Each structure stands twice: as structure tokens, then as C-alpha cells.
């Protein structure tokens, strides 16, 4: 009478290892892209809040020469290093230099530009892959 073998054969184990390898080769780049998109979206959300504060400050008649002129903000946040510069007519820009980010967006900067008429436009620099940009920032897709 034959005794049944216990355990797995070498071929079965190799198939399992190959399947795990294939799945991880797909999952790791997708997760890295997810982290990069999340960091840019968080930076955009923080800078959009700052944009609202800047608009309110400009509408009250104050002049914003730098980010220090915006009440109640800190220069560094969890996702951004902010800079701001506006002319006397209200035209200017707010910039969010992304920090603590994955390598694909580690040098990225989100910029909100304001015209003297009060129109805002978003652009991004140092983002090599367009699919990483937040949907609210389609103005400029830098290489």
C-alpha cells in the first residue's frame, strides 16, 4: 500500500514564489504612485487653504509682501514649505514646495498664481508624470 506524501513538492513551491513575485512587481510601483499622488493632493489642499486666506487678506486692502504677511500661517507644514509674493495690485503667487515626498515628486512645487483681477491658476513644476498631478491643478504640466 502506498503511503500518501505529506507537504508540497518543489514545483508547487516554485509556482507560489513566482506568483508572489509577479504580484509584488505590480503592486510596489502602484503603491509608490499612490504615495506620490497623495502627497501632491495634500500639498494642493494645504495651499488652497492658504490661497483662501491670501484672497481674504488682499480683499481687506492689505498688501502681502511675503508669507509672513499672512496672519495665522506657519512657513512649513507637514507637506509644504510655503512662499508668497504679491504686488500692490494683488497680482502674485503662492508656492508650495513639496517636502517629505517620494522620489518621483521630491522636487515638485505647486504654484497658485493670481492676476490683478483676482483670477487664480494652478501650475506644477518638477512633476515628470502627468497622472500624478491633482485634478485641480491642470494648468501647467512641467516635464
Phi-psi category of residue 7: left, alpha or beta, with phi > 0 → left and psi -120 to 50 → alpha:
left
**pLDDT at position 142 over 50:** no
Of 83, 20, 97, whose CA–CA distance to 50 is shortest? 83
Judge contact between 86 and 106, C-beta under 8 A.
Answer: no
63-86 in b/e burial notation, b at 16+ Cβ within 10 A?
A: ebeebeebeebeeebebbebebeb
Three-class secondary structure of residue 101 per DSSP: coil
pTM, two decimal places: 0.77
Torsion angles phi and psi, residue 49, rounded to 5? -65, -40
Q: What is the pLDDT of residues 57-98, one digit of tens each?
A: 888 888 887 777 777 667 788 888 988 888 888 899 999 999
- Percent of the chain predicted with pLDDT > 70: 91
| Mean model confidence pLDDT for the chain | 85
Amino acid at each position: 500500500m502506498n503511503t500518501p506524501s505529506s507537504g508540497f513538492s518543489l514545483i508547487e513551491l516554485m509556482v507560489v514564489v513566482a506568483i508572489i513575485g509577479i504580484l509584488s512587481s505590480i503592486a510596489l510601483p502602484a503603491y509608490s504612485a499612490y504615495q506620490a499622488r497623495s502627497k501632491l493632493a495634500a500639498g494642493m489642499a494645504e495651499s488652497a487653504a492658504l490661497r483662501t486666506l491670501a484672497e481674504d487678506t488682499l480683499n481687506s486692502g492689505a498688501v502681502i509682501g511675503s508669507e509672513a504677511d499672512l496672519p495665522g500661517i506657519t512657513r512649513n507644514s507637514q507637506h509644504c514649505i510655503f512662499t508668497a509674493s504679491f504686488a500692490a495690485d494683488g497680482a502674485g503667487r503662492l508656492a508650495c514646495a513639496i517636502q517629505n515626498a517620494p522620489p518621483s515628486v521630491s522636487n515638485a512645487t505647486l504654484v497658485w498664481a493670481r492676476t490683478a483681477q483676482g483670477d487664480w491658476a494652478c501650475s506644477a513644476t518638477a512633476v515628470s508624470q502627468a497622472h500624478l498631478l491633482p485634478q485641480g491643478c491642470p494648468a501647467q504640466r512641467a516635464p
